[in-house]
Structure formats: structure tokens, C-alpha cells
Amino acid sequence: MRNFFSTPTAIVGTALLSIVCFAAIFGPFIAPYDPQAFDALNRLQGPSMAHWLGTDQFGRDLLSRILTGAPSTVAFGVGATVVGVGIGSIIGVVAGVSGGWVDSTIMRILDGLLAVPDLLFTLLIVTILGGGMEHAMLAVSIAFAPGMARISRSAVLSVRTRDYVRAAVARGESGFYIVRAEVLPNALSPIVVEATIRVSFAIMIGATLGFLGLGAQPPSTEWGLMVAEARQFMFRNPWCVAVPGLSIAIAALGFNLFGDALRDSLDPKRSHG
Amino acid sequence: MTAQTLMKDAPIAATEKSALSIIDYSLSYKTANGLIPALQNIDLTIPKGKTVGLVGESGSGKSSMAWSIMRYLPSNAVETGGAIRLAGEELLDYTPFQMMDIRGRRMSMVFQDPSTSLNPTIRLGEQIAEVLMRHRGLTKVQAFAEAEAALARTGITRPKEMLQRFPHEASGGEKQRVVIATAFACEPELIIFDEPTTALDILTARQILDLFNQLRDETNVSALYISHDLGLVSRVVDEVNVLHKGVIVERGAVDEVFRKPSAPYTRQLIGAVPNPDRWIGADAPAEPQTLVKLDKIGVHYGAPSRIQKMFWPEDADNVGFWGAKDVAFEVRRGELLGVVGESGSGKSTIAKVLAGLQDFEGRLEFDGKNVASRKAIDRAYRRRVQIVFQHPDASLNPRQKIGKILSRPLKLYGIVPRDQIKARIAELLEMVRLPAEFADRYPHELSGGQKQRVAIARAFAAEPELVICDEVTAALDVSVQAAVAELLVKLQKDTGAACVFITHDLNLIRQLAHRIAVMHHGKLVDFFDRADARSDDRDAYTKALLDAVPVHAAPQETASA
């Protein structure tokens, strides 16, 4: 970890991620205006001293809406990923550790699920469960589980045949001890890295669902929904689409670059050099 | 020797100019901890038609030397001076583009592992022909004809068929012959051999060495032969250079260096080479008592499934592959039993069976009690039988400190009360001659030999009656290897544990073992007392193995070391 900041990827990723996290934690408190306050005289304004990022079709201050929307957007991404990674890793570790027909059965089912694209799968689940933030989050996490299960299984498999695991088996250790003390600590880093990168996908899927009207409902300040609502006014004031769109991009990019950098620095070939 | 008679016939003018000369060459690597020197002030000359050996342990810089001659260095390499001249031409001045033409045509290289130096998706014929077409401008038809001739020269019996095969369809020895044929194909001025026999079995390695000598005589090529094995190098080279930590500490004619090594490092290196006549093992147990008895042990990899057995019972024997079949021997209390064999002979399979890591068929008896199957092995058995693996890097959990690794068997089997575990760990470390502070270190902070000592300490922590050592010295340098073997013998002597020592190194095992089992293709072909190693009733395969290993008398000064 000492050399974590040696690459531009890590520096940019961490910088973007800090901005996003700052907005997610303090955003609602530092927003200059009420995000829901209409101002009929100042509709669809460009950036000015009064409204730094301009206003939307109802004259609401965009900066304030972005800041208040940050917590729910980031929470959606992180929440969906945590749940998805949790479900996926448990399935993957069980499959990887037990092997044999248990493994084959689980993996064949997951292969079938993996064949469905993430977004389509999410849409399917949301359609069944009905719209709303919580359901969208659950849908994303379920869509993530098969991929995470595959990654955690391969991480477990690569560790399972190492000599130190075989040494533990030969010693007569219990299966639970072997998984907890020998396998998991060494299989964890690829899972953590993948999870970090997946937060960005979750944010984007969340935004997409918001845009399609299946996620957050108006007057929520969720970023994807903001893009959707402002779409018809795009040519009168591009700012009201560009600002939430860029925010989504920055958040996604931040998590993605940070994950990449994390993977590089956790790679033992590079960190113990 | 034939090499010398041929040398006399060669034109005298050609021998005068050296094929390769390296003058005062230094190389460093840029790392996070600053510049680390890899080679310092190297002077090396290879006269035309001669073979020069470069001997060193891992990390000595011998591979860096090969890559700097080939001009193929990693981006963090910094050359800090000197010259490398191929037939008088300065290679350091050439652009990478010019070097592409020189590599393969004027210099070529043979690598350690033929299975990784050949492309697995291209037929062998195309891999040789490609080189010929690139460097000698032959057409495809000509190149294939030439490739066939080149393979025939390396002693492959059906060269035409071999050209059509993929690398996985050829044996290790055949693949290395193809690599060598490729290297000789363009009649280069210089060939670099980087441990060409290390990845091969003893008998195959011997054949490859003979082939090398024969080809060298025929083509009069100059060669740099890099190896960690002094004994092996002595059979092929004219002059040897000993490299230690990037500095050439000794050079001279092979016989000279062997008989009268001047540098202390060379002396240590020669002293560490296993010598079957120097017995270092413990005393044999006075009364032979059987500890473990194996009877008709078989391991069937890829065994047929229940459905296959039901419908095609007659095929049951032919499906999959027998890792070991009908193996029967016994291990006595307190003895050191050597198991020798080439890779794939089933020796590690037997180790896994004994350690309870592998399902098996047949009868396994431990201390008079019958163990029916792998599942029947209980914790008491597992405490009494411990295993040490080949690769010390892989057998220690990288996320646990040494202290935690050693404490595990103590806690698991309740060897000592909990409050004494710390003291016992210190004792264990001292037992394997490591400082007690190592308990707070992680495995990656230790060297290979130190890690193997920790693995041995972990095995002996359980106070076992049988320790299985699966090629424990194979991944270590020669000098470390000797120390680890001696440590093992001492521990065995002190604790009275029996030991099954699995190795491919006959010379080493003849120094340690009381009795020796020889395995070949999954079967036990020979089993004998160490005193009878040379007697006439040995199996033909045992004899071949014994004849293949280079045995050389240790120099006078080191015999007592």
C-alpha cells in the first residue's frame, strides 16, 4: 500500500472519489438553496453568481439538487454492491470449497443467469417487484450476484490447491477453520477490488433505472431521474442535463479508477517487490 | 575427447578471434529501493568453437547476463558501463531493430523449460520453419525440408512426423531437442544455453547433454552454458566461470577449478554438491520395527464414474490414469526411507496417500492398525504423520506470521498448554537454527531456505512419528540444500521420527537414506538397502539412473568440510 499513489490512475481515482464522498456526506448540509424550491422567474438559467450551475425547468437550483441527490445515488451504488457481493461471494465460496456436483450444479445455474445482460436482468426484476428505490437496489444486487459468485469461486479455487491449504488438510484442521483462516484471507483481495469497480456499474444502472422511471420517483433528486426530467429542455438549457450526467460520470469514474488502482497495489508481485 | 580432435582440424584463423567478448560490463536494476547492482565488472571471453560455462546460484545474475548479451533487458535495467562484442562488433551500439536480425541468425538461445519456450498452438514444424524463413530467406518448402534435416540431426527417430505434432504431443526431451534444433538451424555464431536440462528428468538430461556435445563437435559453434549445477557443467564446457552476487569469483579450466578451487565460494559450492560416498544420515534403527505398511496401494486419477462402471465394467481399468499401482513397501520406525523417481513416476502420489490428501485403493497399515480409506484417517493419525512440501513459498500462508503458523499444530493437537506456546515456538525456531525474532515476521520476509526450515519446524512441532518430505530440497540452491538435508537428519536423530524422503536426486538420497525405493511409471521397480546400491541384482532402471547422475570426487580440501 505504500506505493499506492505512484500511478496517475490512483491519484485521479482517489481525488474523484473524495469529491463524491464529500458530496455524499455533507451535500445536504451545504446546499445553498432548498432543492425543491420553485423559482418561476429564473427557469432554465445558465451558471451565474446566484446559481453556480444554473437552474432547471422549475427554476430549482441545480447545485443544491446535485448535492442533496449525492447521498441517495452513492448509497444506492454502494448498497446494491454490498448486498450483491455478499450474496455472490457466499454462493461462490460455497461452490469453490465444496467442489464436485454441488459446484457443478451451482455454476451451471449461474452460467444461465450470466447469459442475461445485467441491465435486462435488472429491468426484469424491477418489473416483477415494482418500481422504487429499494426494489431497484435489490434488483441490481441480484443481477450482480452471479458475476460475483464466479469471481469469488475462481479466487477460492486458486487458493484451495495451494500447499498451505493442503498442509492444513493434512494436519486434520476442520473445514471451517481452513476456509476462515487459510482460504478466505488469501482470496479476499480480488473480491474487494471487483466490488469497488462494480459500485460504478451499480451507480450507472441505478441512474438508468431512474431515467426510465423505474427507480427513484419525482421529486427525488436522484441523478438519473434528474437527467430524465430535464431531457425535454435539453436544447433550451444544456446545463440541466449535463450537470447530473457529469456527476454520474464522475462518481462512476472515481470508483472505477480507484478499484483499478487498488487491484494494482494489492497484486503481490508489485507490492512486495 | 572427440571435441578436441575436431578442434585441431578447424581452421586456426577462426579460433584466434573470439566469438564473444564481454569487457568490464556492469548492470543494475532500478527498484523502489534505489539502484540494485546485478552484474559488476564482468569480463568474459568465449573463443571461437569453445564452450564456456557460467555457474551461479539463484540471484547470482547469471540470467541477467544472458539477457544482456541477447540485448533483451527489462525497462528498469540500467547498464553502467562496459562492452559486449559479438565477433568484434559492439552489440551495445546496435538499435533494437538491428538486434532483431542478429537474434536467431547470429545468436540464439535455449531456455530452461521446453514446455514454456514453445508456442502450444503452433505445430513444431512451423516453429522451426518460421526461424529458417525469417533468417535464411528460405521458401516454405525449403524450410520444412531443412527443419526435417535439423531434427534428424538431433536424433529424433521420425522427424517428419514430429514436424506435424503440437508441443503437447511430444515428450519433454523431444521438445528440448526441437528447441535445440531451432537454435542450431541458422548456424549461429553463438548459442546461449540457459539451464537447458534443469526441467528434464535425469535420463533425458543425460541424452540432451550428449546431443549437445555431438552437435557442438559437428558445427563448431561457440556457446555460453549457464547452469547452477557445477557437476553438470563440468561435462560440457572447456572453461568455467563462477558467478556469485554479480561478480565472477573464479574462472579457469574445468578440471583446475574442480581440483583446486581458489575462491572460498567455489569451495563451498563444490563441498555442497551431494556426494553419495559421504554418508551424513543418522544411525539405522537397531531393531527393525514396522511403522507403516503399504500393500497393493493404487491411485486412480480420473477414475470411471459409477455410471461408467455399471455399463462398461470392462473399460474400468483403461479409463483415466493410474498415478500409482500395486505399490507395496514398509517404513520402519526411526529410519529414513528414500523414494526416488522421475517426474510422473508416482512418488508424490504416494506422499499424498500417506498424508491423507489422496483417495487410494489397497491396504494401508499404520502402527498395526488398518486404515481403510482416506476418509477413515483420523486426527490422531494426522498428528503422527506430517508432511513437508516442495515449494516453501507455497506451503506457508502468506497472511500469517511465522509464530502463528508454528502455533497452529501446537494448539490443534494440544501439544503444550496454551501459556507455554510462545516459549515452545522459540524452541522450535531454535531447533531449526532460526532466531526467535522470526516469530513476528511474515513468510515473504524470509529467504527460500529459511521458509523451508519453518515448514520443517511446523512438521516437527506436532511431535510426529513419520515425516514425509516431498522434494523438500528441490526448489533450493545447492548450498542451502545441503544445510536443509543435514538439519533434517539431525532432527530425525533427535526425535526418533521415521522419514520418507522423496527426491529425484540419487546422489543426495544415497547420502541420507537407510533404504531406497525406486519408482517408475507409477510402479515400485526396486527396493534395496543403501549398501546394495551397486550390487548386480539391481533393476535395470535403477542401474540406468545410477549411471546417469554425474558423480565426481570432491577436491581434497573440501572432503572434510
Fold agreement between B2-272 and B290-551: yes
Residue with cell 512426423: B161
Residues of A within 8 A of B378 (CB-CB) are 172
Closest C-alpha among B390, B332, B381, B339 to residue B356: B381
pLDDT of amino acid A29:
87
Under 8 Å between Cβ of B52 and B237: yes
Report the helix count and the strand count for chain A, using DSSP H and E.
Answer: 11, 0
- Residue in chain B lying closest to A270 (CA): B32
Reported as a pLDDT band with limits 50, 70 and 90, residue A211 is confident
- Residue in chain B lying closest to A183 (CA): B397
Question: For the segment A39-48, what is each residue's pLDDT rounded down to a tens digit?
Answer: 777 777 778 8
- Residue in chain A lying closest to B34 (CA): A273
CB contact under 8 A, A185 and B399: yes
Instruction: Give the mean pLDDT of A66-85.
Output: 90
Cell numbers standing for residue A10: 490512483
Architecture of domain B2-272: 3-Layer(aba) Sandwich (3.40)
- Choose the closest CB to B389 out of A3, A167, A171: A167
Residues of B within 8 A of A269 (CB-CB) are none
Task: Tell me if A2 is assigned to some domain.
Answer: no
Closest approach of chain A CAs to the CA of B225, in angstroms? 29
* Amino acid letter, B341: G
pLDDT of amino acid A2:
54
Cell numbers standing for residue A268: 503481490
pLDDT of amino acid B193:
92
Which residues are bridge partners to B95 per DSSP?
none
Model-level pTM greater than 0.95? no
CB contact under 8 A, A164 and B399: no
Percent of chain A with pLDDT over 70: 96
The helix/strand/coil state of B242 is strand
Q: Domain B290-551 in CATH: superfamily?
A: P-loop containing nucleotide triphosphate hydrolases (3.40.50.300)
pLDDT of amino acid B448:
87
Sheet hosting strand B51-55, strand order edge to edge: B107-110, B190-194, B222-227, B51-55, B239-244, B247-253
CATH of the domain at A131: 1.10.3720.10
pLDDT of amino acid B466:
93
What is the block-wise mean pLDDT of chain B (561 residues), using blocks of 10 residues? 43 59 91 85 90 88 89 88 88 88 88 87 91 89 91 86 89 88 88 86 85 87 88 84 91 86 87 80 80 89 76 73 87 91 86 90 88 86 92 88 92 90 93 91 88 93 92 84 89 91 88 91 89 85 82 46 34
Whether residue B412 lies within 8 A of chain A, CB to CB, comes out as: yes
pLDDT of amino acid A267:
63
- Choose the closest CB to A163 out of B32, B395, B409: B395
Query: Could you tell me which residue, B42 or A273, shows the higher pLDDT?
Result: B42
Residue A271 has pLDDT above 80, yes or no: no
CB contact under 8 A, B462 and A171: yes
Chain pair A-B, CB pairs under 8 angstroms: 55
Query: What residues make up the domain containing A63?
Result: 7-34+49-266
Residue A245 has pLDDT above 50, yes or no: yes
Task: Tell me if A272 is assigned to some domain.
Answer: no
Planar angle of CA B450, B451, B457, nearest 5 degrees = 90
- Residue in chain B lying closest to A163 (CA): B395
Cell numbers standing for residue B454: 519453518
pLDDT of amino acid B550:
65
Task: Tell me if A273 is assigned to some domain.
Answer: no
Closest approach of chain B CAs to the CA of A170, in angstroms? 6
Q: Which helix (H) or strand (E) holds B337?
A: strand B336-340
- Residue in chain A lying closest to B374 (CA): A170
pLDDT of amino acid A190:
85
Chain A residues near any Cβ of chain B (below 8 Å): 3, 162-164, 166-173, 181-182, 185-186, 268, 272-273
Closest C-alpha among B88, B458, B482, B126 to residue B274: B482
Query: Could you tell me which residue, A92 or A240, shows the higher pLDDT?
Result: A92
Distance CA A232, CA A240 (A): 10
| DSSP result, A68-84 | HHHHHHHHHHHHHHHHH
Residue A31 has pLDDT above 50, yes or no: yes
pLDDT of amino acid A3:
66
Burial label, B437 (beta-carbon count in 10 A; 0-12, 13-18, 19+): exposed
Q: Which helix (H) or strand (E) holds A195?
A: helix A184-211
DSSP structure class, residue B260: S
Residue with cell 503458523: B405
Closest approach of chain A CAs to the CA of B481, in angstroms? 20
Q: Domain-by-domain residue ranges, chain B?
A: 2-272, 290-551
Name which of A4, A6, A162, A163 to mutate to probe chain B: the one with the most chain B Cβ atoms within 10 A of its Cβ: A163
Domain count across chain A: 1
Under 8 Å between Cβ of B160 and B90: no
- Residue in chain B lying closest to A161 (CA): B394
Which residues are bridge partners to B502 per DSSP?
B339, B470
Distance CA A211, CA A222 (A): 9
